[in-house]
Structure formats: C-alpha cells, structure tokens
Amino acid sequence: MKIHTLITVTAAILTATSFGQSIERAALYREHGLLEDAKRDYIQILSGGSPQEHKAEALYTLGLIAFDQNRISVALDSWTRLVKDFPSTQQSKEVQDRLKDLSQIIGEQQKETVHNVVAQSYLRHGDFWSNGKSQIFTIDSSYIPQLEAAMKWYDKTIKEFSRTPAARIAYEEKMRAILGWREQGQY
C-alpha cells in the first residue's frame, strides 16, 4: 500500500512540475519571439489537465498574442472565454470590465510590449488619433480635433498606469504628437 501511495504522490508532483514547466516554456517562447511555439504550448495547456490558474494564464496570454498581431476578434474571443470560464482569476478581473472598450480598438503594433491589456488599448487609441497614416475610417472623424483626442488617450494611460512602461510610452508618444514628430532624428 505504501508503494502505491508513493507512486501516486510522485506522479502528482511530476505532473504539477511539468505543468509549471509548460507555462514557463510557453512564456519563454513568447518572450523570445517564438510566438507559434508559445501558442502551441498555451493551447496544449488549455486542452490538457493543467491547473485552472495555468489555463487562465494561457487564455489571457493567447489573447495578448492575438491582440499584438492585430487579430482583435481572436483576442476578444479568448478574453471572453477567460471571463466566462475563470471569473475569479486576476487575469479575468483585468479584462472583464473592459471587453466593450477593447472591442473598439484599432491601431498598429506598439514598438515595446506592454503587458497590460487596458494600457495597450489606451495607447492604441492615442496612436489612432495622433498618427497621420492613411487609414480607412468607419466614422467621420473630420470634426474631431485629432491632437486633443490623442492627448486624452495618452493622459488616461499616464493617469491609470503611472510608473509603468505604458506611462513612459504614453509620455513619449504624447511629446511626439505635440511636436509633430514621425521618426526619431527627424529634426
């Protein structure tokens, strides 16, 4: 009986360790730009017998990856599932009140990764109004003062995410928008 118990306990420890290693491996893949490998690992975590907190982390991060790739509907699907299946997790609480706002996001890739989804949304709103790139608008924005709209989003990022990389990026982008810079070294 003791051998059977020892084997069961050992198997449980090895399983927990392998789940921890899977989430860490997926995070390392993502950190080093191996996004396809990271997505595979996160999907494997979701479809396997991983602990609930790892599944919540996997859904959240899959949403981040999709969001970074401008696949907004995939990101929203992941985060909607996260809120539905894991409502009490930290990741779920971070996105549940902002899903409506996040569904309206359009914009381009941020040069530096900001890990907070809401901060990313604010930065992209500011970028939407400050960048003079040709885009197809689904609304008539000709009457909206673009600089003021960009400042609103950058200020909101600075206020809500002070002392974070998102605030630093918002300060930089705000200054570029005020000065009219498009590229470093332009002036």
Residue 77's domain is classified under what CATH number? 1.25.40.10
Regarding whether 138 and 57 lie in a shared domain, the answer is no
Answer for the pair 127, 146: CB distance below 8 angstroms, yes or no.
no
Q: What is the pLDDT along the chain (187 residues), one digit of tens a residue?
A: 455 554 554 444 434 444 456 889 988 998 888 889 999 999 999 888 888 889 999 999 998 898 888 787 788 888 888 988 988 888 888 887 677 666 555 333 334 556 788 888 888 888 777 765 544 555 656 667 888 888 999 999 999 998 899 999 999 888 888 887 665 555 5
Number of domains in the chain: 2
How far apart, in Å, are the Cα atoms of 6 and each of 9, 30, 34, 49? 5, 36, 38, 21
Regarding whether 129 and 37 lie in a shared domain, the answer is no
Regarding whether 125 and 87 lie in a shared domain, the answer is no
- Which structural domain, as residue segments, surrounds residue 112? 106-187
Regarding whether 110 and 98 lie in a shared domain, the answer is no
Question: Taking the mean position of all CA atoms in its chain, how far away is CA 99?
Answer: 12
